[in-house]
């Protein structure tokens, strides 16, 4: 099966990050076919679109699709219990949105299905929401709105806990370890994917349910990360410094890697019926790589 190396895009905290991952040629063609002309074949250019529109009048209905609230201090996630909006409408949360837009792409692309969907929007929403569900505080406690109401200091600057996990940890890592260069950070994460985490790729990419997408276990991972790492030692008014930053950065980098691997695997399952899960990714350099499939 032909596999194309592809600098793949995913969003995390409203920002676009690119990592080296793998789409089959069939999936890569489908992605490029569905992107708007203004994107010029670059998914990165539209990654932040769901964040840009969510406060506009016609798109406000999407604002509650970026996260899922869970009961305070339970530290677990249950789709039937948790996936609803503030009015109690079922299936309106980030995991519900991932299921919905995956189904639209499966049913609408390359078929004669009479149901018509905007597949370009579905692709952009799906790519963004898979990033969101991997940010731990997008699956967190109801009362603090995902850490948005927990005011803290990030070193000397006043911020909130959600912003720390959306942006501050990554920006501090770029400044401290990666010469303020996001590309250098991405290369380091790529190297970990093909080295440190290489034996985990198959389990990350796999959906044990046999479905094209499986966001429920991803959400369960995030709420556990929220309880074990995000909320811990981050009480209102606290100052978060080196101890917090250095102990949480590996979690953020792993979630970035998992989001990219899983997005690529999901799109391969949607668009390529011959796709099989890569067991390992071998990094060669210069954006070239090879994969081994079973």
Query: What is the rounded distance in angstroms from the CA atom of residue 166 to the CA atom of residue 147?
Result: 11
Q: What is the pLDDT of residue 17?
A: 53
Strands 68-70 and 139-141, sheet pairing: parallel
Residue count (the chain): 294
The tokens describing 223, both together, are 């709420």
Residues 6+ apart with CB under 8 A from 168: 154, 159
Q: Output the tens digit of pLDDT for each of the chain's 294 residues.
A: 333 333 344 555 555 554 435 678 899 899 999 999 988 888 877 888 999 999 999 999 999 999 999 999 999 999 999 999 999 999 999 999 999 999 999 999 867 665 678 999 999 999 999 999 999 999 999 999 999 999 999 999 999 999 999 999 999 999 999 999 988 988 898 889 889 999 999 999 999 878 999 999 999 999 999 999 999 999 999 999 999 999 999 999 999 999 989 999 999 999 998 887 665 543 333 333 333 232
| Residue 279 DSSP code | E
- Per-residue DSSP letter, 167: I
The tokens for 286 are 């210069």
Alpha-carbon distances, residue 186 vs 33, 157, 180, 181, 196 (angstroms): 26, 26, 12, 9, 15
CB atoms within 10 A of CB 54: 16
Fold of 3-293: P1 Nuclease (1.10.575)
pLDDT of residue 2: 37
């Amino acid at each position: 099966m032909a596999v194309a190396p592809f600098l793949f895009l995913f969003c995390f905290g409203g920002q676009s990050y690119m990592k080296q991952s793998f789409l089959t040629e069939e999936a890569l063609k489908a992605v490029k076919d569905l992107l708007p002309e203004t994107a010029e074949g670059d998914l990165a250019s539209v990654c932040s679109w769901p964040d840009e529109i969510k406060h506009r009048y016609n798109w406000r209905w999407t604002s509650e699709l970026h996260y899922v609230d869970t009961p305070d201090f339970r530290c677990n996630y249950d789709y039937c219990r948790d996936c609803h909006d503030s009015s109690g409408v079922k299936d309106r949360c980030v995991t519900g949105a991932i299921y919905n837009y995956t189904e639209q792409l499966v049913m609408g692309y390359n078929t004669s299905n009479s149901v018509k969907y905007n597949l370009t929007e579905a692709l952009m929403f799906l790519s963004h929401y898979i990033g969101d569900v991997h940010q731990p505080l997008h699956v967190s406690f109801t009362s603090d709105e995902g850490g948005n109401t927990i005011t803290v200091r990030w070193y000397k600057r006043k911020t909130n806990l959600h912003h720390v996990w959306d942006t501050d940890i990554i920006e501090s890592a770029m400044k401290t370890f990666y010469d303020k260069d996001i590309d250098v950070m991405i290369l380091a994460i790529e190297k970990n994917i093909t080295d440190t985490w290489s034996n985990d790729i198959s389990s990350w990419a796999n959906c044990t349910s046999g479905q094209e997408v499986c966001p429920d276990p991803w959400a369960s991972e995030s709420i556990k990360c929220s309880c074990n790492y995000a909320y811990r030692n981050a009480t209102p008014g606290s100052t978060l410094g080196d101890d917090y930053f250095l102990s949480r950065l590996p979690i953020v980098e792993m979630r970035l890697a998992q989001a990219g691997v899983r997005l690529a695997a999901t799109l391969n399952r949607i668009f390529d019926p011959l796709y099989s899960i890569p067991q390992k990714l071998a990094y060669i350099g210069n954006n070239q790589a090879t994969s081994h499939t079973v």
